[in-house]
Structure 1
Amino acid sequence: EIDIRVKNAFLERKTAVIRTTCFDPNNNEVIAVETPISLDAQQETMVTQTAVIPTPKLWHVDQPNRYRAVTYLKEDDTFHEIYETPFGIRTTHFDVDEGFFLNGENTLIKGVCLDHDGGLVGTAVPDGVWRQRLTTLKEMGCNAIRMAHNPSSEALLNLCDEMGFLVQVEFFDEWNNPKDKRLNNIDRHDDEISRGYAEHFQEWAESDLKRTMLRDRNHPCVFQWSIGNEIEWTFLRHKMATGYFDANTPGNYFWALPPYSFADIQERYEELPKGQHVLEKTARQLATWTREMDSTRLVIANCILPSVSLGSGYADALDVVGFSYRQVMYDASHEAFPDKGIMGTENLGQWHEWMHVIERPFISGLFFWTGIGYMGESHDKWPQKALPSGFIDVAGFKKPSFYLMKSLWQEDPVIHLTTQTLDTSPYLVDENGAVVEKEPGAWRQRLWVWHDVNEHWNYKPGVVTAIELYSNCDEVEMFVNGRSLGSQLLKDQEDRIFKWVVPFEPGTLEARGVYNNDQQAAMMIQTAAEPAALQVTSDRLALAADGYDVARLVAQLVDANGHPVKHLEQEIVFTVNGNCRILGVDNGSPQNVQDYQTDRLTISQGRALLIVQAGNVGGETAVTATSGSLSSLPVKITIEDKSSPYSE
């Protein structure tokens, strides 16, 4: 069905024809339907057209087929309006015992949460920046994005349609009550830093929710509507009912089951004062508005206190209950509420979270916090400007944890080497010569931030060094300067990390793996000498002269043999000659507080990012980088007089 709202804005009665033509992914016309209309002056009506597309090509995360519906008004020989709607055809289904199905196929939701900024470009993110970031997430195996904690730009949804990402659209981070911006404690403040959407919720919630849905509901990528994020924190009745925060309660909220049964928690909840607003009542209203606009997608929320919400009535308003950092509650919740679908909607970026998913068919997947680094949540740790979580940093560089997750989510062989000194690592060598955790089992409770590792092989000779390797290979053998350190099996690595310890010696570190008994994978890193040059690469060598298109350039220190130098920091200066402007520079470090809008910065891990934006005139732009006496060859970017593929 195609719903079209039409208004006659003329001062006299008008008669016309509404025609909609649909085109398949190959731009072939597949159907056309016409509807005659006759409207009085200023009259408005809804026209519904019905058509059947035979044997449609379905939209899927691995094959995101998209159709176009072109609708226009025709009065005699005059065309008044032409409106194009991209759309996709697909089915979704949640089973409380077997998880999520896309087009009838059981599909694990391999998701990440994304904030709305794009690093150095701020929140006015060019499409080319999002495309690069989404491409990197796709490489990791990601197939779903939670837009946290507010609706995203339409441009980002368009890219998710095109590239094959499922999307959870989240409406609100606050409802009736404000969140305390000082880490969500019980205290309430009325100063500027604590103000938020709660001030406008009563007046604008319905309008904002419905307008968001009107804008977003034709996107095939959108498969869930989230009505709220961790709203329970703002209703103190919920927090106090859990028992977790009683003065005499043992255990840790993250890892321990509630101190009371579901029934006891519900009794405590009923005994506590309700306050001015009742969470469950608001949730029912939001869910009702959502279903009025769209009955084809499920309603969900990110619940931080599901031990209360499952019994209080909050979960009754939802089709699927999202759990925020509550893996410990999966089994008990499924047993107590077997008819309610549950999944992870905000999870630590660690293997133990994914392990809890693949061991439980009734958990359809999760959304890691977070996919990409974002500005904020530095928590008075200046000069830290961003929480150093995520698989990709604020500049879009892959972090070591990216490769661990890729080894879990991709079916092709993955192998990635990292190193660190043993004394700064989480490991020690036991009396049997095995590399073990200093705190046995600590990997099971690792939080948002990945432990420090390096991606180089440069230490002082003789320093005892821990080697960490992330791989999905069944067996991996490690070599130092051609000498084997022995082989290890993946099935023996509880934490999914291969580990060796060896005194550092300059030269070559190499890992060789066997995947599925026949495929080979390998990675080598070499001790870098002193920097001898700069290498500059660009993700694009042609831009449209539209004043919008962007290219992402990376400068990397290298030695005389071309090996990356990743253990030194020094200043780099970029020069851009031609019809491009510098949008900014960054090095990816969460501690980098150097200016963005400049031509120079001190690098991190031997590298730096430059983003340039095309002007409005065609021609050629040359980009070079210098650092002291070192310089790069110019990278030449052609500025073409045609529309950007990203600007549509």
Structure 2
Amino acid sequence: MITSSFNHGWAVRPLGSTFFALQGGPSTAVTLPHDALLSSPRDANVADGANSGFFPSLDIEYEKTFEIAESAVDQRHVLEFEGVYRDARVYLNGSLAAHRPYGYSRFFVPADRFLRYGAVNTIRVEATSGQDSRWYSGAGLIRPVTLHRSGLLHLAPEGPRFSTPQVADDLAVVQVEARIDNESPIRRTVRVRMEIVEEATGRTVATATAPVTVFPGEPAEVARRVFVRDPKLWSPDSPALYRGHVTLFDNNDDGSAGSELDQASDTFGIRRIDLDPVYGLRINGTTVKLRGACVHHDNGPIGAATIGAADERRVRLLREAGFNAIRSAHNPASTALLRACDKYGVLVMDEAFDTWTSRKVLFDYAQDFADWWERDIESMVRKDFNRPSVILYSVGNEIAETGNPLDAGTGRDLAGTLKRLDPTRFTLCAGQVLVAAGDDAATVMAEQNIGVNDVLASMDDVLVKFWQSPVAARMMEEAYAQVDVAGYNYGDARYVLDPDEFPDRISVGSETSRRSIAENWATIVDSPQVIGDFCWTGWDYLGEVGVGRARRASQAGAAEFLAPFPYLTAMAGDLDITGVRRPASYFRETVFGLRDTPYIAVQEPSLFDIELAANSFGWRGLEGRWTWPGDEGHPVAIEVYSSADEVELLVNGRSVGKAAAGAAAGYIAAFATAYEPGTVTAVAYHNGVESGRSELSTAGPVEALSLTPERDHLDLTDESLAFVRLALVDRDGRVNPSQAETVTITVEGPAVLQGLGSSDPKPHEAITGPTRTTHAGELLAVVRPTGTGSVVIKAAAVGFPETSVVVNVD
């Protein structure tokens, strides 16, 4: 099978009438993956705008022409779409070839019946989005498109499957499965060779061959056990990968292999996963606690376009920040993200849906669920089966039906289908008891003595009481009995209750508030029934705007949960949308026991002595900086995150005092002092002996623009991107986060500017384009190569000399 990119040569335009299309209409040339929504102007009056980031609804069409040789009439051509957001309709030479409502499902389009051989062909893809998601969805051909070409007798385009039913230190059994399709008019006997190769070394470690007879029009399912001696096991600490090859040959009369007919391969890992209430989650016999991050699918400055390098970078940076697990909230993850998780040893909760039959927004997936859920579940499993990083399938997030016994069958059907399609992994339901309570919420509120004022004052406290409620526990019992793991969204109150009430239940914090980790991590580590925690969120995202912002307590009503225009991001990530770690990330790393160096976080001086609203998602306006011009002499609150016994704070060498730190103090040593330029230093002490120190210094006025690429060499592929950070620096090279400048980025050479973004949660400028204002002294330019050679990235701002950097593309 010849697999080739089908990502080039597309044009996109607004979806109009047939007459509009015939007239040509205004169109833009694009390379996939592509997010058409990102360039739409935001509008404060967009319906449901705070959820979408104030982006409008969008109806678009993509078009591409291509040629198929006349000699290819005896070949088969299949198009693979990894994801089209949303309600995709694929037309080949004017005829409807496929329809797929769900925006995150991979689907295949057999193309031959529509093709014109020896002539020009036209493919057109329609997509629509609007009021169909609770966060920024993007729109269009957001994931790659691939063309598969093969002979009449060929392997299925989905590729082979690899599983490891038996794993020991000295021997592993690899189950290799493949489907052979015979579209010729005659019976054929072929020889199938299966080969296992170490990905890192290229060394072949196992082979097996067998003849297979395939009848016309009747697919042959081939399954063979292959034995790997002394296997290198995949785990978070040692993510060893293998590549499995399946090759079809003509079968000679003497049983030897003749000419090659088709070939397909994929990577996989050899690993064993176990789950029980005694040892918890074990990978290859070793208990693992999930240090997890929920992540949405967008990639910040480039929107929902799933370009491989962006997903890999995100996984790498999350891993470096201390996470060993990701939850794909709330849809199946992209292949690029999962391959990165395989590479870096990050475990995955692969989530199917955000809704079943009860809709959360006006035009969401609930309108298609009944007709499509089984095909979409199958698509997710087939796409992700070979990924060793995937250990859990989530049947859904905060599903209202989970508290209703009349809908219990839906959960059973979903979990049962997953087990039938993939018995090698575990299932989970990410429940939220307040959502599931529905009409019975009043009963729980009365039982727990919860009043309206309690709801307005602190939703966190209300959720604790709901999760502690015996009525609510019974309400959710059936839903959790249908899956292997109970997912608790803000339900950490259950951790200490379950051992008595549900001694065989295994649970995970499938979605948790950012500060709760300090209280809960010790319980998670000590309890085998709780396998980990997934914070909301690991990486900031577009849409659900402002949920993590620092708000005055007087603004804590439900109407203020989402922020007004021009807010763009949720402000809820440990890392911002450009990949910079925020103070919450260092706090979490300290709690996990992965960081000994103290970290200094300073609250914005204007927030001092202001009562802030309790917020599950925010971090009270804290930043890792000591540059606050205009606030000299103003009081500031400072937190130092440390696992040490105590911390001393120094300002310009003078001691402000000492404060308790470590687990007993929630890993936070709190101080208050007056801001003065210079240096603030935190010194950590264990048993009275200094164990580490860190400092922040005041930056001087900006004197230059600095450009720093994360890599100065790239390979030319559809997945390649260069990430270049621009910073406003003083004469000593320190970033000045308090000064803002409008910067224009230009790209010369074989590349284009794919995106330009900052961590500003409420930018006034257009999201796309070459000019942006810095935030916290920085911008991130994302450059996509279009050919080989030297790419020059330049930055210019009024009053500063132009600066440039070179990235070479091979």
What TM-score does the superposition give when structure 1 sets the normalisation length?
0.83
Aligned to 1:6: 180
Matches within 5 A, 1:354-433: 354-358=521-525, 360-378=527-545, 379=562, 381-420=564-603, 424-425=607-608
Aligned to 1:320, which of 485, 491, 513?
Answer: 485
Matched, 1:281 2:409: yes
Aligned pairs (5 A) from 1:174-253 = 174-179=355-360, 181=361, 194-232=362-400, 234=401, 238=403
C-alpha separation in 1, matches of 2:603 and 2:488:
34
Cα separation, 1, equivalents of 2:504 and 2:587: 34
Is 2:242 the counterpart of 1:67?
yes
User: CA 1:415 to 1:93, structure 2 compared with 1: closer, same or farther past 3 Å?
Assistant: same
Give the total of aligned pairs: 572
Alignment of 1:607 with 2:778, yes or no, is yes
Q: 1:483 to 1:638 in 2, by over 3 A?
A: same
Match of 1:407, SS? helix
**Pair 1:462 & 2:628 matched:** no
* Contact 2:312/2:336, CA 8 A, preserved across alignment: no
Three-state SS of the structure 1 residue aligned to 2:747 is strand
Distance in 1 (alpha carbons) for counterparts of 2:688 and 2:346: 31
Distance 1:416 1:510 in 2: 10
Instruction: Pick closer, same or farther for the CA change 1:412–1:325 going to 2, 3 Å.
Output: closer
- Would the alpha carbon gap of residues 545 and 90 (structure 1) be closer, same or farther in structure 2, given more than 3 Å must change? closer
Query: 1:229 Cα shift?
Result: 1.0
1:50-107 alpha-carbon deviations (Å, 9 max, x no partner): 1221221110111101111111001042111111121111111222244221111111
Partner Cα distance (2:366, 2:379) in 1: 18
CA contact (8 A) 2:590 2:667 kept: no
Q: Distance in 1 between matches of 2:431 and 2:663?
A: 35
1:375 and 1:309 map into 2 onto residues whose CA distance is 36
Shift of 1:205: 1.1
2:294 to 113, 123, 129: 113
Alpha-carbon deviation of 1:493?
Answer: 5.4
What does 1:9-158 align with in structure 2 at a 5 Å threshold? 9-25=183-199, 26-75=201-250, 76=252, 77-158=258-339
Q: Which runs of 5+ in 2 are unaligned?
A: 1-174, 253-257, 434-466, 546-561
Q: Relative to 1, partners in 2 of residues 1:114 and 1:461: Cα closer, same or farther, differing over 3 Å? A: closer
Provide the rounded CA distance (Å) in 2 between the counterparts of 1:536 and 1:39. 59
Distance 2:670 2:801 in 1: 38
- Output the amino acid matched with 2:585: F
Structure 1 CA distance, aligned partners of 2:803 and 2:617? 39
Q: 1:66 to 1:481 in 2, by over 3 A?
A: same
SS at match of 1:284: helix
- What TM-score comes out, normalization by structure 2 length? 0.67
Q: Are the aligned partners of 2:795 and 2:802 in contact in 1 as well (CA < 8 Å)?
A: yes
Q: Tell whether the 8 Å contact from 2:306 to 2:336 is kept in structure 1 after alignment.
A: no
Which whole-Å CA distance do the structure 1 matches of 2:506 and 2:229 have between them?
33
CA distance in 2, matches of 1:404, 1:615: 40
> Percent identity of the aligned residues?
27
Query: In structure 2, what is the Cα distance between the partners aligned to 1:103 and 1:547?
Result: 35
Query: What's the counterpart of residue 444 of structure 2?
Result: none
Corresponding letter in the other structure for 1:153: S
State whether structure 2 residue 499 is matched by structure 1 residue 334.
Answer: yes
Offset of residue 224 of structure 1: 0.7
Structure 1 residues 127 and 363 mapped into 2: Cα distance closer, same or farther (>3 Å)? same
Distance 1:524 1:491, change over 3 A: closer
The answer for the alignment partner of 1:451 in structure 2 is 620
C-alpha separation in 2, matches of 1:41 and 1:71: 21
Q: Who is 2:806 aligned against? A: 636
Distance 1:637 1:421 in 2: 37
Deviations 1:107-145, CA, capped at 9 Å, x for gaps: 111011111111121111221112221121111110011
After superposition, the Cα gap between the structure-2 partners of 1:497 and 1:550, relative to the gap in structure 1 and judged at 3 Å, is same
Q: 1:483 aligns with which of 654, 673, 676?
A: 654
Change in CA separation of 1:397 and 1:311 when aligned onto 2, cut-off 3 Å: closer
SS in 1 for 2:427: strand
Which is worse superposed, 294-303 or 378-387? 378-387
Cα–Cα, structure 1 residues 312 and 412, in superposed 2: closer, same or farther, change >3 Å?
Answer: closer
CA distance 1:125–1:214, change in 2 (3 Å) = closer
Deviation at residue 213 of structure 1 after TM alignment: 0.7
Q: 2-side partners of 1:499 and 1:380: how far apart?
A: 29
Q: Which residue of 2 aligns with 1:167?
A: 348
Distance 1:426 1:220 in 2: 49
AA matched with 1:324? N
The answer to whether the Cα contact below 8 Å between 1:327 and 1:356 also exists between their aligned partners in 2 is no
- Cα deviation for residue 471 of structure 1 reads 2.7
Structure 1, unaligned stretches of length 5 or more? 182-193, 239-268, 428-437, 641-648
Change (3 A) 1:226 1:420: closer
- Paired letter, 2:296: D
1:474-553 pair list within 5 angstroms: 474-491=645-662, 494-513=665-684, 520-546=691-717, 548-553=719-724
Please say if residues 511 and 522 of structure 1, whose CA atoms lie closer than 8 Å, have aligned partners that are also in contact: yes
Per-residue CA deviation, residues 313-347 of structure 1 (Å, 9 max, x unaligned), is: 21221111111111122222332111121111111
1:391 is displaced (CA, Å) by 0.4
Deviations 1:539-596 (A, max 9, x none): 1111223465211111111122222211122212223222221112111122124223
Q: 1:492 to 1:219 in 2, by over 3 A?
A: closer
| Distance change (3 Å), C-alpha of 1:149 and 1:493 | same
Indicate the SS of the match to 1:417: strand
Contact 2:598 2:694 in 1 (8 A): yes
> Is this contact kept in 1: 2:603–2:620, CA < 8 A?
no
C-alpha spacing 1:107/1:519, structure 2 compared with 1 (3 Å): farther
CA distance in 1, matches of 2:578, 2:663: 35
Q: 1:122-171: CA deviations, max 9, x gaps? A: 11122111222112111111001111111111111111111111111111
| Deviation readout 1:438-469 (Å, 9 max, x if unpaired) | 79xx9xx6511111023322343322222222
Aligned to 1:348: 513
**Against the structure 1 CA distance between its residues 505 and 202, is the aligned structure 2 distance closer, same or farther, given a 3 Å change threshold?**
closer
Query: What is the CA distance between 1:294 and its match in structure 2?
Result: 1.5
Moved more, 585-594 or 110-119: 585-594
Look up the equivalent residue of 1:399 and give its one-letter code: R
Indicate if the aligned counterparts of 2:521 and 2:592 stay in contact, CA closer than 8 A. no
Distance 2:262 2:667 in 1: 57
Moved more, 57-66 or 559-568: 559-568
Q: What's 1:293 paired with?
A: 421
**Contact residue 551 and residue 611 of structure 1 kept, 8 A:** yes
The alpha-carbon distance between structure 1 residues 157 and 529, as it changes in their structure 2 partners (threshold 3 A), is same
Aligned partner of residue 53 in structure 1, secondary structure: strand
Q: Is the 8 A contact 2:625 2:697 kept in 1?
A: yes
Structure 2 residue identity aligned to 1:157 = L
Partner amino acid, structure 2, of 1:37: V
- The answer (yes or no) to whether the contact 1:100–1:108 under 8 Å persists in 2 is yes
1:580 paired with 2:757, answer: no
CA shift in 2, pair 1:159/1:547, >3 Å: closer
Task: Tell me the secondary structure at the aligned position of residue 472 of structure 1.
Answer: coil
